[in-house]
Amino acid sequence: MATSASMGDARRGASGPLLRIEKLDVHYGRAHVLQGVSIELAHGVLAVVGRNGMGKTTLVHTIMGMIRPRNGEIMLDDEELVGKQPFQIAQRGLALVPQGRRIFPSLTVEENLTLAARGTQADGDAWTPERVYELFPNLKDRTRHRGSQLSGGELQMLAIGRALLTNPRLLLMDEPSEGLAPVIVERIGEVLADLRRSGLGVFLVEQNYGLALGAADDIYILSKGQVVWQGTAGELADAATVRETHLGV
């Protein structure tokens, strides 16, 4: 039986890493925000963790083409993303669940999802609104509710569902637990486990150490714009000094 990792490799038709970031430098004026960042995601869930202000969201925005790096490469399979516009990067199979959700408040749940829907999978395993509702039953009960009428947890579910409906190869999630109750954070962790089993690659940026540790295969710690540690979730769980120094846990 094929594993989720092997299914993901077959889906993208590549034996190398799905995403490779090499020596990435990003500046805001004189501020050197990202300094030689190198990260590699082969399959499954990769988490980038760190305190606030360490460059995590800048990294996500750079991957999506919202920020132009001064130096470095961002490769999706074997295709260079640096220099492409965000819409071009999205067309190549990246989808972003942004920090703050950014749902259209005047549109209903159904309308928000319909706007995003794009059937690109040929294997019969495409994400559809019905499949999103299976993943998030709460949304099915609120299809006619406007974005402004949803709770924080429901907004996050809708943001994830909207991104999945683009049928991405790689899902980028920027601080999905932010502002959510513990029970909803736990649900987000379950969703990440489901997505990993489906073979979808997930690039998770997260300040919540517990969520990252429970969801990720591999973890990178970002501090002051630099990767200061990388390893498996199990290795980080055993690295008390590293956690205390860079994460405060």
What whole-number percentage of the chain has pLDDT above 70? 91
pTM over 0.75: yes
The class (CATH top level) of 4-246 is: alpha beta
For the chain, the straight-line distance linking the first and the last C-alpha, in angstroms and rounded, comes to 39
Q: Which band of pLDDT confidence, cut at 50, 70 and 90, is reported for residue 4?
A: very low
Residue type for position 174: D
Residues 6+ apart with CB under 8 A from 141: none
Give me the residue spans of the domains in the chain. 4-246
In this predicted structure, the answer to whether residue 23 has a pLDDT above a threshold of 80 is yes
pLDDT reading at 38 higher than 80: yes
Strands in 218-223's sheet, in edge-to-edge order, are 94-97, 170-174, 201-206, 45-49, 218-223, 226-232
Q: pLDDT tier at 93 (50, 70, 90 boundaries)?
A: very high
Tell me the pLDDT of the chain averaged across its residues: 89
The length of the chain, given as a count of residues:
249
What is the per-residue pLDDT for 119? 57
Whether the pLDDT of residue 121 is over 60: the answer is no
Q: At what angle do helices 182-198 and 152-164 cross, to 10 degrees?
A: 10
Look at residue 6 and tell me whether its pLDDT is greater than 60: no
- pLDDT band at residue 5, thresholds of 50, 70 and 90? very low
Residue 150 predicted with pLDDT over 60 = yes
Confidence of residue 123 (pLDDT cuts 50, 70, 90): low
pLDDT recorded at residue 10: 42
